[in-house]
């Protein structure tokens, strides 16, 4: 067995993959429909939409492999397929030196045939594949190649649709829909792993005055700057989103209130430094409510978010009273 080399643009490719915020998201019918169609059209037992991450091959959609969600990248056929612009066809894996000793060939699921068509991002990076797998050797003619390529293009279209539907166009971070989907998944993981988790609910102070005094373009700039500060201050594993208007939220995974206070102190320092280094007619200011997840108090993500929002509003109201 040969372990695939890394693509020459691996760092940028991984950045492009992570920017989609699709890894570890739940299965979606839009992708499952395509893998079911692929399995039926090609009469294969397995069809998968894969994403090649740093050390793993993750399945966005998978039919025929049970409840599997990922495999090690080292044993992934698709890690070889992403090295090529054209699709990778393996008629009989036992005769291919790259795969003959692969544990997925010598053991379950006993792969013999593989066909993987690269799936690309809008910026041109190969993220993974739409692949077909069979347990018997077979050929793959030109018409079948064309059909698999068409299905892979449909996967790419769905990835674009997901990004557009879940990303805030102005700031480039998750919108409410995207945040809710990712945060629900993160909360489920926290429950399963018995990890602490915190919801941070932010609201820009005096945002209406910025719009009224300096115009909506300046208000948009403030939102973009604040989103960028959030993105640079929190971990990649945290979920960051703009919920609408001047409201933002961050879901911290594997962090309790004490840890969130530490992170917020660093964030406050970043905002202060930004206001000094990027002077404008106004300073970025915000109120924030922080609530740790408590299953006895929070039935779901919406309840946790409501608690953080209410606490943020109380703090904002208190600050206004002090200023007045």
Catalytic residue among 246, 256, 294, 300: 246
Nearest residue to 57 via CA among 137, 241, 65: 65
Neighbours of 113 (CB within 10 A): 21
Residue 210 gets the label, from left (phi > 0), alpha (psi -120 to 50) or beta, of alpha
Query: Is residue 225 flagged as an active site residue?
Result: no
Burial classification of residue 123, based on how many CB atoms lie within 10 Å of its CB (0-12 exposed, 13-18 middle, 19 or more buried): exposed
3 state SS of 119: strand
For the chain, the straight-line distance linking the first and the last C-alpha, in angstroms and rounded, comes to 72
Determine the Cα–Cα distance for residues 253 and 196; give it in Å rounded to an integer: 7
Residues in the chain: 324
Q: Under a CB-based contact definition with an 8 Å cutoff, are residues 287 and 309 in contact?
A: no
Q: What is the DSSP letter of 235?
A: -
CB 286 within 8 Å of CB 206: no
Tell me whether strands 70-72 and 56-63 are parallel, antiparallel or unpaired.
antiparallel
Tokens (6 digits) for 107: 């053991």
Which of 198, 208, 270 lies closest to 233 in space, CA to CA?
270
- Catalytic site positions: 246
């Amino acid at each position: 067995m040969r372990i695939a080399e890394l693509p020459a643009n691996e760092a940028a490719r991984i950045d492009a993959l992570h920017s989609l915020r699709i890894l570890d998201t739940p299965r979606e019918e839009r992708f499952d429909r395509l893998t079911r169609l692929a399995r039926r059209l090609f009469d294969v037992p397995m069809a998968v939409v894969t994403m090649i991450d740093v050390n793993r091959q993750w399945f966005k959609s998978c039919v025929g492999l049970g409840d599997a969600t990922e495999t090690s990248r080292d044993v992934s056929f698709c890690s070889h397929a992403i090295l090529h612009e054209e699709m990778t066809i393996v008629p009989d894996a036992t005769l291919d030196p790259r795969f003959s000793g692969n544990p997925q060939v010598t053991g379950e699921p006993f792969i013999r045939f593989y066909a993987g068509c690269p799936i690309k991002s809008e910026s041109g990076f190969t993220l993974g594949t739409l692949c077909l797998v069979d347990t018997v050797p077979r050929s793959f003619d030109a018409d079948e190649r064309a059909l698999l390529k068409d299905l892979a293009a449909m996967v790419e279209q769905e990835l674009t649709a997901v990004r557009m539907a879940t990303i805030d166009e102005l700031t480039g971070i998750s919108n409410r829909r995207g945040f809710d989907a990712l945060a629900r998944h993160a909360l489920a993981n926290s429950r399963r792993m018995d990890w602490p988790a915190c919801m941070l609910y932010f609201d820009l102070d005096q945002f209406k005055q910025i719009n009224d005094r300096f115009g909506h373009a300046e208000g948009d700039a403030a939102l973009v700057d604040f989103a960028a500060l959030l993105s640079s201050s929190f971990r990649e594993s945290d979920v960051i989103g703009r919920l609408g208007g001047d409201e933002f939220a961050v879901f911290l995974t594997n962090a309790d209130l004490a840890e969130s206070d530490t992170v917020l102190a660093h964030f406050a320092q970043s905002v202060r430094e930004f206001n000094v280094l990027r002077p404008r007619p106004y300073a970025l200011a915000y109120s924030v409510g922080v609530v740790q997840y408590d299953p006895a108090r929070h039935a779901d993500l919406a309840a946790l978010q409501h608690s953080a929002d209410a606490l943020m509003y109380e703090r904002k109201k208190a600050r206004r009273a002090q200023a007045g």
